[in-house]
Each structure stands twice: as C-alpha cells, then as structure tokens.
C-alpha cells in the first residue's frame, strides 16, 4: 500500500511517500526556520501562510522523489492534531481535496502517534511492548506501547515540554532559535556540573514532568551572572548550557528508568525532536545497558517532524479500515485514539 503522508502541525511543511508502512520512497521537509528566526520563535499566523505557499510544491517534490503520481496512491495520511490550528488546517484541507478529487482513502493521524511509531521506519525494530519517551517542542510524555494503536499514557509534562525548555533557555542566552541543537553544541564546550540547576521529580513515583521551574531557575541565574563580573570570570555560557542540558537529561533518564521498572517492558524507544540530542542518546544507552534493556532511536530526520512517520501511522489506520471522511476537523489538543482490532 502506497501512502502519502502530510504534516503541517507546526513550522515544517512535510510530505513523504511510504510503501507498506516501512519503506520510505521520499521524505521532503520544508523548514520555516528562516522566517521565524527573526521573531525568536514560531509565529502561528506566519506559519500558516508559509504552509499555504509550500504545501503544493512539497507534495509535488515528494511524489517526484518517489517517481509516482497521485494515481499511484492507495492512501493519504494527514496530521489533524495536536498542533497549531491554522497550520493543521492547511495540510488537512489539501489532503481532503486530493482525497475527494482522486477518490483516495484518507486517514486522520495524531502527530504524537507519528513520533512514537517513527522507529518502525528504521531497519532495527523493537518488539512490542516497549516504553516510549516522546520528547519534542510540544510534548514530553512516557507511553507504554503494546502494539500499533495501543498506547497507555504513563506520564506527561504538567507545563513546558523538554524541547520548549531548550528553546526558551537558548533565547534567554541569546543563542537564537531553535534552541535544542545550539544548546547541545554549546554544551560540548562546557562543564555540566558547574551549576546544579533544579530537577523536578515531583512525587516519588510520578512519571509526570515539569520543566518550567528549571527554565525560571536558569533565567534567574543568567540575570545574576550578567550582573556579576566575578561569576562571568568563573562560569561560561557553555557551562550554563551544559548544566541546564544535564538537568533536563537527568530527569528524562531517571523517569524513563522508573517507567521501564513499573511496566517491565523489555525495551525502550526515544522519539521526537529532542531525541536528536547526542548527550541524551548516550546517557539513555549508558543508563539502560546495565539493565539489559536496549534503547532504540530513529535517525535525526525521523526524530524531528516529518511526513514519513505520518504515512506510517496512517498506513496502520487504513489497514484497519479506519477511513476519515470529509467532516474530520483539526484538533489543537488531541489524545491518541486506540486502533480498533482487525475484523476477522
């Protein structure tokens, strides 16, 4: 089954063609970073206008990259939420138009489900069940995943997402947008134990996250640092970046270990844009290998937003006979829906 996947949930216009939910024939991502950078973050109105401009060329490029035409498509998978409403609408209405005109079945996909399943685009696959740590600019969640469409939420952020904390701290440090990669690069030169920023573990067994206190602590420290020559002489911006990164990763790793312990799942998957972070990858692998637990990561282009993960998630919905009709609408908040069992 050949599926076109479309994602316009935030600031990337993405389209991909995937065969049988496994084989990526093309994966095109048009980043809007250059348009949003002068504003220090994503401007929703600007994002939707950019999607309108880019959706047709991006889909055309994805089809050309797969050497296919719309007549070859067996399905269209499109993100309907969660995300920015104005952005989601562009992808959804484009998909509805194509589905209607060409008579191609359409699947409405949850963006986070796409991130969770993105590992299945790789060659080395985890067996079910596994625990998934999904960390992006909009989410920090732990799920117990027992099959396609079978997700039990174990914990989630009560305020900021991990990627959002990276972006905000980078902004305060004047390192630009988006912040994750630049903080990681800066942190390589810094000492991670120079400042002990707070770690919010919440209650003892809680699998929820909270990063807003950390963000405030970093902001207050930077204010003090800027006013003190003495502090600046002993602590560098790289030290601040490394200490902040360490604090986020410490919490992500320890909560993941707890989630694994509670569920007894034999493997662990890390997904979402923050999973690009090499220090997180190393810390997760180091923490889990003594437990005999393998940690799986996608390649970076499947960690950040992409159409291939949406095509994959949509493929499984279409396979189960789940077709979205033209009344489907976008959802800014959207819990992942379970997949109905296959009819015999």
Q: Please give the residue ranges that form the binding site for ligand KG4 (CB under 6 A).
A: 10, 136-138, 163-164, 166-167, 178-181, 184, 272-274, 276-277, 304-305
Query: Could you say which DSSP state residue 126 is in?
Result: P
**Rounded least distance, CB 84 to Zn ion, Å:** 11
From the CB of 135, what's the least distance to Zn ion, in Å?
Answer: 10
Q: Which is nearer to ligand KG4, 21 or 138 (CB)?
A: 138
Rounded distance between C-alpha atoms, residue 335 and residue 81, angstroms? 9
Q: Which does 7 bind (CB under 5 to 8 A by kind): Zn ion, ligand KG4, none?
A: none
Nearest distance from C-beta of residue 180 to ligand KG4, angstroms: 2
In the complex, the smallest distance separating the C-beta of residue 306 from ligand KG4, rounded to whole angstroms, is 8
Q: Which does 181 bind (CB under 5 to 8 A by kind): ligand KG4, Zn ion, none?
A: ligand KG4
Q: What H or E segment, with its residue span, contains residue 319?
A: helix 307-319
Q: Which is nearer to ligand KG4, 104 or 111 (CB)?
A: 111
Smallest distance from ligand KG4 to CB 204, Å:
27
32 binding partner (options Zn ion, ligand KG4, none; Cβ < 5 to 8 Å by kind): none
Q: Interface with Zn ion includes 167 (CB under 5 A)?
A: no
Query: Using CB distances below 5 to 8 A depending on partner kind, what does residue 178 bind out of ligand KG4, Zn ion, none?
Result: ligand KG4
Q: Residues 99, 335: contact at Cβ < 8 Å?
A: no
Secondary structure (H, E, C), 73-125: CCEEEEEEECCCHHHHHHHHHHHHHHHHHHCCCEEEEEHHHHHHHHHHHCCCC
Instruction: Identify what 160 binds: Zn ion, ligand KG4, none; CB under 5 to 8 Å per kind.
Output: none
Tokens representing residue 186 in the block: 């800066």
Residue 323, Cα to own-chain centre: how many angstroms? Answer: 24
Kindly calculate the radius of gyration of the chain based on its CA atoms and give it in whole angstroms: 20
Interacting residues of 190 by C-beta distance below 8 A, sequence separation 6+: 236, 237, 238, 239, 240, 241, 242, 243
Query: Should residue 136 be labelled a site residue for Zn ion when binding is judged by CB under 5 A?
Result: yes
Residue placing its CB nearer to ligand KG4 in the complex, 256 or 263: 256
Residue 268: C-alpha distances to residues 98, 192, 312 (Å): 37, 25, 20
- Among ligand KG4, Zn ion, none, the one that 180 touches (CB under a kind-dependent 5 to 8 A) is ligand KG4
DSSP 218-280: HHHHHHHHHH-HHHHHH--HHHHHHHHHHHHHHHHHHHHHHHHHHH--SEEEEESGGGG-HHH
List binders of Zn ion among 202-221 (CB under 5 A): none
Q: Per CB under 5 A, which of residues 278..317 are in contact with Zn ion? A: 305
**37 backbone dihedrals φ, ψ, rounded to 5°:** -50, -45
Find which of Zn ion, ligand KG4, none residue 276 binds, CB within 5 to 8 Å per kind: ligand KG4
Q: Is 32 or 136 the residue whose CB approaches Zn ion more closely?
A: 136
d(CA 270, CA 281): 8
Which run of H or E residues covers position 185? helix 179-187
Contacts (CB under 5 A) with Zn ion, residues 180-199: none
Which residue, 211 or 225, has its beta carbon nearer to Zn ion?
211
Nearer to ligand KG4, 105 or 178 (CB): 178
**Chosen from ligand KG4, Zn ion, none, partner binding at 163 (C-beta under 5 to 8 Å by type):** ligand KG4
Q: Which residues bind Zn ion (CB under 5 A)?
A: 136, 305
């Amino acid at each position: 089954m050949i599926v076109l996947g479309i994602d316009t949930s935030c600031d990337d216009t993405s389209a991909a063609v995937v065969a049988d939910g496994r084989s990526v024939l093309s994966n095109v991502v048009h980043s809007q970073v250059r348009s949003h950078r002068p504003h220090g973050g994503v401007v929703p109105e600007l994002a939707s206008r950019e999607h309108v401009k880019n959706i047709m060329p991006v889909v055309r490029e994805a089809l050309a990259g797969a050497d296919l035409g719309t007549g070859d498509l067996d399905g269209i998978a499109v993100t309907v939420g969660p995300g920015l409403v104005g952005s989601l609408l562009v992808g959804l209405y484009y998909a509805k138009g194509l589905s209607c005109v060409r008579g191609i079945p359409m699947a409405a996909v949850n963006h986070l489900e796409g991130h969770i399943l993105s590992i299945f685009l790789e060659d080395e696959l985890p067996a079910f069940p596994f625990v998934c740590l999904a960390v992006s600019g909009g989410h920090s969640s732990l799920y117990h995943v027992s099959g396609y469409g079978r997700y039990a939420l174990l914990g989630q952020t009560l305020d900021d997402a991990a990627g959002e904390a990276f972006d905000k701290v980078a902004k305060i440090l004047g390192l630009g947008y988006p912040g994750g990669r630049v903080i990681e690069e800066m942190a390589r030169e810094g000492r991670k134990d120079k400042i002990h920023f707070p770690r919010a573990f919440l209650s003892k067994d809680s699998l929820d996250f909270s990063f807003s206190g950390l963000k405030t602590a970093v902001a207050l420290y930077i204010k003090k640092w800027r006013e003190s020559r003495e502090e600046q002489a002993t602590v560098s911006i790289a030290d601040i970046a490394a200490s902040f990164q360490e604090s986020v990763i410490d919490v992500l790793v320890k909560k993941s270990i707890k989630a694994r312990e509670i569920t007894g799942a034999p493997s662990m998957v890390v997904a979402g844009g923050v999973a690009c972070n090499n220090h997180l990858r190393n810390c997760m692998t180091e923490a889990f290998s003594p437990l005999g637990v393998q940690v799986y990561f996608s390649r970076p282009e499947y960690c950040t937003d992409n159409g291939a993960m949406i095509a994959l998630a949509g493929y499984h919905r279409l396979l189960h006979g789940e077709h979205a009709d033209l009344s489907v609408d976008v959802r800014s908040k959207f819990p992942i829906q379970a997949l109905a069992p296959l009819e015999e």
